[in-house]
Structure 1
Amino acid sequence: MSSFFKSITFLFLVIIIKHNPINAASITIRNNCPYTVWAAAVPGGGQRLGQNQVWTINPPAGTAGARVWGRTNCNFDGSGRGRCETGDCNGLLQCQSYGSPPNTLAEYALNQFNNLDFYDISLVDGFNVPMDFSPTSNGCTRGIRCTADIKGQCPNELRAPGGCNNPCTVFKTDNYCCNSGNCGPTVYSRFFKQRCPDAYSYPKDDATSTFTCKGGTNYRVVFCP
């Protein structure tokens, strides 16, 4: 093959890969709440979502340690700086870091062991917005949902403006935070687990809280499903 045709072929492949990222994911984020939610994503940034509004992010293949969450009662100026009552990420509309508890989390890692995606809903940082996190393609159908009235039923010692804190945030002790790796369920983690059985209730709650799909699956996150 001539060098000219090799160059054309290479450019063609680059265009295909650029516009069809191998095993990348599309995540559609919808707000069904009767109030505004400022969606946040790392990677991805942030977006104000009124009721029934949608925002789509496209994290690349291999993304790990990623999350989507909702922020509530936010005020931002024209430069995208301000503050949220829950889920705030250093006062920025376009999040570059994780949010402050309490915030319900949709966590994921793409194309990991055996080319599998791993995804979960976590209450390890507490709860602020009801959430559904579900695959939408690739024959993967196991969705996760946490819609209980956790804010209304929150134990007094965990109550926070706009949400319900996880005990690690409040008490900062090892039996709740699992910093040493030696921890188990507590009366507080059971409060979360009883109401949202598929969600992480404490940091070592892996067995019943992590789900997988084949790499290349698309997902949706719905606030107030």
Structure 2
Amino acid sequence: MSPSKSVSFCIFLLISLSKTYTDAARFDIRNNCSFTVWIGVIPIGGHRLGPGRTWPIEVAAGTKGGRIWPRTGCLFESTGRGRCETGDCNGLLHCRDYGAPPVTLAEYALNQFNNLDFFDISLVYGFNVPIEFSSDSGNCTRGIMCTEDINGQCPSQLRAPGGCNNPCTVFKTDEYCCNSGNCGPTEYSKFFKQLCPDAYSYPKDDQNSTFTCPGGTNYKVGISCTADINGRCPDPLRAPGGCNNPCTVFKTDEYCCNSGNCGPTEYSKFFKQRCPDAYSYPKDDQTSTFTCPGGTNYKVVFCP
């Protein structure tokens, strides 16, 4: 990974795929985050996945057009109907269609030409959270990833709640959508490709972004939902390269606590929700201060 990567991992979903040519493929999807996520899988459906929980599924050998994607900001009723901020599939918990942009996709086709599995990471529908996709067997050592801070660096024209759109979604022109089949890289596709060189950045991208392993290979897909404060920063707080505290922007007692008499605000709750251990405003909960005995050694890591 690049030393400049500014993604802080708070979710890791491990998807282990094992199969033979005739058997179903097994996916063990695990949520290692401290909060609930929702997974979309074609052709299986979808699932609410609580912290530390695993969802085992099986996909038939020979499956084509398979997709795995994370959905964020979801709220569903007991009927299974609702909505997700990113990756929504027509308001259904159990997906029947592909997820709506912006969404990062892990794509696969099992036991195809010469009994090969084909897999890739695609940003053709934009980006919402980082993904790693790799084989997990000794007979094939392939691995791809897209783990850079695309949301935080997303061009302003492509910004969307919870993610970063592909330009086709925004502009809907042949230059970006390649409907005629005759298009090339653009300034926007180069933005995605520079940050995630292994991933598809537009529909006619380099075929080197497709990887293969023999049928029967095991796989891991790590979907890493980040705190992504820069990418989701409220518009009034946005700043080049970061996200301001409201005191810096508005300079009022409500946010700066100069009188010593203030409480949480909509903006402080935004920060606290994403980084519960950190101070979000001057009079925040004292549990955000930690202690150790004198003489302790410490590490401070930027971009962990």
TM-score (structure 2 length as normaliser)? 0.65
Larger Rg: 2
Name the aligned partner's letter for residue 218 of structure 1: N
Structure 2 regions of 5+ residues with no counterpart? Answer: 1-18, 226-304
- Looking at structure 2, the residues matched to 130 and 32 of structure 1 have their Cα atoms a distance apart, in angstroms, of 14
- SS of alignment partner, residue 28 of structure 2: strand
Alpha-carbon contact 1:27-1:221 (below 8 Å) kept: no
1:90-133 alpha-carbon deviations (Å, 9 max, x no partner): 11111011010000000011111111010000000000011111
* Higher fraction of strand: 1
1:212 aligned partner: 212
Change (3 A) 1:20 1:187: closer
Alpha-carbon contact 2:199-2:209 (below 8 Å) kept: yes
1:144-183 alpha-carbon deviations (Å, 9 max, x no partner): 1111100010000000000000000000001111111101
1:156 aligned partner: 156
Kindly state the Cα deviation for residue 200 of structure 1 after the two structures are TM-superposed.
0.5
- SS of alignment partner, residue 56 of structure 1: strand
Alpha-carbon contact 1:101-1:165 (below 8 Å) kept: yes
- SS of alignment partner, residue 89 of structure 1: coil
Structure 1 regions of 5+ residues with no counterpart? Answer: 1-18
1:109 aligned partner: 109
- Looking at structure 1, the residues matched to 38 and 117 of structure 2 have their Cα atoms a distance apart, in angstroms, of 26
- Looking at structure 1, the residues matched to 71 and 128 of structure 2 have their Cα atoms a distance apart, in angstroms, of 8
1:59 aligned partner: 59
Name the aligned partner's letter for residue 103 of structure 1: V
2:247 aligned partner: none
Kindly state the Cα deviation for residue 196 of structure 1 after the two structures are TM-superposed.
0.7
* Cα RMSD after superposing both structures: 1.8
Kindly state the Cα deviation for residue 31 of structure 1 after the two structures are TM-superposed.
3.1
Alpha-carbon contact 1:134-1:220 (below 8 Å) kept: yes
Alpha-carbon contact 1:31-1:222 (below 8 Å) kept: no
The percent of aligned pairs where both chains have the same amino acid is 70
Q: Does 1:82 align with 2:108?
A: no
- Looking at structure 1, the residues matched to 91 and 123 of structure 2 have their Cα atoms a distance apart, in angstroms, of 22
- Looking at structure 2, the residues matched to 152 and 129 of structure 1 have their Cα atoms a distance apart, in angstroms, of 11
Alpha-carbon contact 1:28-1:221 (below 8 Å) kept: no
- SS of alignment partner, residue 85 of structure 1: coil
Residues 63-212 of structure 1: matches in 2 within 5 Å? Answer: 63-137=63-137, 139-212=139-212
TM-score (structure 1 length as normaliser)? 0.86
Alpha-carbon contact 1:81-1:91 (below 8 Å) kept: yes
1:7 aligned partner: none
Whose RCO is larger (CA < 8 A, sep 6+)?
A: 1
- SS of alignment partner, residue 182 of structure 1: coil
Change (3 A) 1:89 1:35: same
Alpha-carbon contact 1:138-1:214 (below 8 Å) kept: no
Residues 19-30 of structure 1: matches in 2 within 5 Å? Answer: 22-30=22-30
Name the aligned partner's letter for residue 141 of structure 1: T
Change (3 A) 1:34 1:198: farther
2:44 aligned partner: 44
How many equivalent residue pairs? 207
- SS of alignment partner, residue 194 of structure 1: helix
